[in-house]
């Protein structure tokens, strides 16, 4: 598969790149970023996937996430995909709302018209893009983990729960833990997957745990000043599900922090060290 290099910049001894390719899954061009830390020739490095939230592209975490110093120290490749297909002819929300359509793919493979043709973000982030990254960057496919923010926190937890043998660790900032039970998720899952709520369960972290999915442990940070905490995120539902399933969950409530990248960047290095400990160096 041909990659187009959009930009490359040296940072912390490594290379921060932005790349574009034609996706077979989304039938569009997709842009993503990769940070490769300094490393010995021939080395294969562990990779952390970062899934972004509503309205975001690859650029939000790339520009604001403050992950490169920790990744350079820990020897981690950091990959940030886009959140949805984009381009001429890709349908968005009929009312141009921010929480559905463009920038809001919710990491599912849509089955409903007119979204089914392009909105195949589950297959893109779990199958196609990992193959592209493995073919073009010095990553060790045996050492992968996943993290994300908000909608991307939802994506990260569901990706890990459904692929426990592939991802060694999963963490999230401000995740939508039970999209079947909150307005953001009900709109998105209904719009992409239809009205059969049983089909939603494989894209709902709490439902997956209730249905038997397991991971070794999880790290979740939420801010106590997050304006979406009580209506859209509802971390207490994840806590209850993990307790019932005996899944170790480190749920940290960070006093005074909101939903923004000021919060994420403050605790990004903590998360990356937590991932590194589970990925092995």
Q: Catalytic residue numbers?
A: 150, 226, 259
| Rounded-to-integer distance, Cα 44 and Cα 32, Å | 20
Cβ atoms within 10 A of the Cβ of 10, count? 9
Sequence-separated (6 or more) residues with CB below 8 Å from residue 201: 180, 207, 208, 211
Contact 194, 229 (CB under 8 A): no
H-type alpha helices, 35-169: 59-64, 68-74, 121-123, 129-136, 151-162
CB 114 within 8 A of CB 83: no
Q: Which is nearest to 107 in space by CA: 237, 209, 200, 27?
A: 200
């Amino acid at each position: 598969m041909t990659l187009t290099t959009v930009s490359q910049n040296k940072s912390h001894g490594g290379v921060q790149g932005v790349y574009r390719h034609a996706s077979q899954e989304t039938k569009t061009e997709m842009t993503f970023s990769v940070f490769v830390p300094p490393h010995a020739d021939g080395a294969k490095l562990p990779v952390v996937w970062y899934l972004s939230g509503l309205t975001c592209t690859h650029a939000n975490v790339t520009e604001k996430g403050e992950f490169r110093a920790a990744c350079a120290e820990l020897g981690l490749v950091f990959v940030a995909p886009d959140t949805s297909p984009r381009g001429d002819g890709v349908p968005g929300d009929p009312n141009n709302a921010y929480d559905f359509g463009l920038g809001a793919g919710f990491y599912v493979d849509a089955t409903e018209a007119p979204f089914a043709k392009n909105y195949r973000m589950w297959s893109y982030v779990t199958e196609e893009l990992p193959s592209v990254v493995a073919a073009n960057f010095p990553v060790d496919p045996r050492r992968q983990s996943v993290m994300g923010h908000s909608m991307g926190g939802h994506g990260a937890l569901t990706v890990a729960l459904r692929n426990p043998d592939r991802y060694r660790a999963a963490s999230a900032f401000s995740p939508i833990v039970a999209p079947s039970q909150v307005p953001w998720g009900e709109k998105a899952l209904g719009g992409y997957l239809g009205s059969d709520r049983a089909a939603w369960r494989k894209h709902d972290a709490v439902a997956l745990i209730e249905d038997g999915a397991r991971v070794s442990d999880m790290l979740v940070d939420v801010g106590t000043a997050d304006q979406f905490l009580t209506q859209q995120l509802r971390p207490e539902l994840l806590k209850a599900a993990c307790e019932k399933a005996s899944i170790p969950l480190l749920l940290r409530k960070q006093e005074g922090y909101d939903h923004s990248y000021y919060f994420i960047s403050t605790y990004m290095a903590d998360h990356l060290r937590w991932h590194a400990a589970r990925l092995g160096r």
